[in-house]
Amino acid sequence: MTTTPHVTVERDGHLAVVTIQRPDKLNALNPAVLRDLTHVFRALVDEHASAPAPAEASASGPVRVAVLTGAGRAFVAGADIAEMAGMNSVEARRFAEAGHQLCALLESAPFPIIAAVNGPALGGGCELALACDFIHAAEGAKLGQPEVNLGVIPGFGGTQRLTRRVGAGRARELIYTGDMLTAEQALAIGLVNAVHPPADLLARVREVALKIASRGPLAVAAAKRVILRGEDIDLVAASELEAQAFATLFGSEDQKTGMTAFLQKAKATFAGK
């Protein structure tokens, strides 16, 4: 298990569970937490990029899926207001840039990241969750962008990612009012994918994560890349990206493994090459 002052990483084969460890402050984000999270995820991305393809498939090796969650009662209750209150414009810009860099790293990682929202995910916490591929939440969790209550706006990408996730109208209302959503309300508008009893959240998310980790890792990575790149271009160009990625995968051993196993009615075990 990798440990930094504010983040721990638990490895289970191809799965990494990343936990923010500042429970006494409800995992509130400050520059140190942002640095630790960036360090941990950059290390996982670098490991994924540099790991040699194994000679044969195994349960160990580079991460194929990650789960991001928080210790204690909160996912991330927001930015640390006590530290943020005294910032000037230059310091605030630096803080926002650190948050944007972290969220961009999560969004572009070559493996899926699932947010397991175990409690409040507000402000920067909601923005971290939005930078993940999708969100599962515990009953009783709250999500929202309440920054206008403090006289500011979301600073880590919330105005952009929330709009893309739930649509412009809903995002505008949530951001302008600063209202918080229950997990069930977030589920109803597509902000989260599923809601679970708190005691079951991590187990249920692990089930989904391990299912993803068992699929063709090159295919999963390609799907994530094409979805992300296709969001901001026209349909014709996005479809071309998809066709090219589809064709490229036919040069992989994973494609041969997967299709051979299907024809033989066997379970495919992918090597990631």
Pairing status of strand 15-20 against strand 7-12: antiparallel
Examine the residue annotation and report whether 242 is marked as an active-site residue of this protein.
Answer: no
- In terms of Cβ atoms closer than 10 Å to its own Cβ (0-12, 13-18, 19+), residue 265 is exposed
Residue 114 near residue 132, CB atoms below 8 Å: yes
Tokens encoding 228: 């992300």
State how far the Cα of 272 lies from the Cα of 215, in Å rounded to an integer. 10
Catalytic: which of 56, 147, 184, 207? 147
- In terms of Cβ atoms closer than 10 Å to its own Cβ (0-12, 13-18, 19+), residue 29 is buried
Catalytic: which of 91, 127, 242, 253? 127
Examine the residue annotation and report whether 47 is marked as an active-site residue of this protein.
Answer: no
Neighbours of 176 (CB within 10 A): 11
Amino acid of residue 192:
V
- Report, as residue numbers or ranges, the catalytic residues: 127, 147
